[in-house]
Amino acid sequence: MPKLISATLVVIAFMVTSIHSPRATQAGTCASKCGSSPVQFTPGQYIRLEVINNTNKLVKIQGHPTSVFRNISPGQTLRLDEGFGTEPNMSVIFWDDSGLPLRATISKPNFGTLRLVITNGKTLPGDRSIYILDSGRVNVL
């Protein structure tokens, strides 16, 4: 009998402390803390790249390893239709000559457009490229 009373007291104490600390008893959904979904295209899809320079400096960008780099002035938007696609894997690199960190934000404003917004970064080394995988997923590196 004393064991039953002890067990009952332990259960009641646990329930009372759970009520006073609601974080321990409430489960959150992924929708409240997961962030945005990853940018994804259909494998094999042709992609237009739209680059927006929201920094206060000149940014250089290169889409294909064999292509020359292009300058994007502060506030300028550049649309690249150089045959970007998800097959094979494709990377786009960007930098500024001063070596300061940059931050890249990607989005998919419509079915066939990948938007890359470049802003001033806060920590080194910052973002330097985006990688378009043949699976259709886009990563910022």
- Compute the half-sphere exposure of residue 81: CA atoms within 13 Å on the CB side of its CA: 1
Give me the CATH code for the 46-140 domain, please: 2.60.270
- For residue 28, the cross-strand partners are none
Q: State residue 5 phi and psi, 5-degree precision.
A: -65, -45
Per-residue pLDDT band at 14 (split at 50, 70, 90):
low
**CB-CB contact of 126 with 101 (8 Å):** yes
The residue among 10 and 53 whose pLDDT is bigger is 53
Query: How much of the chain exceeds pLDDT 70, in percent?
Result: 68
Tens-place pLDDT, residues 75-132:
999 998 766 666 678 889 999 988 889 999 999 999 889 999 999 999 888 999 999 8
pTM comes to: 0.72
pLDDT of residue 1: 60
- pLDDT on residue 121: 92
Exposure string over 14-28, b if 16+ CB within 10 A, otherwise e? eeeeeeeeeeeeeee
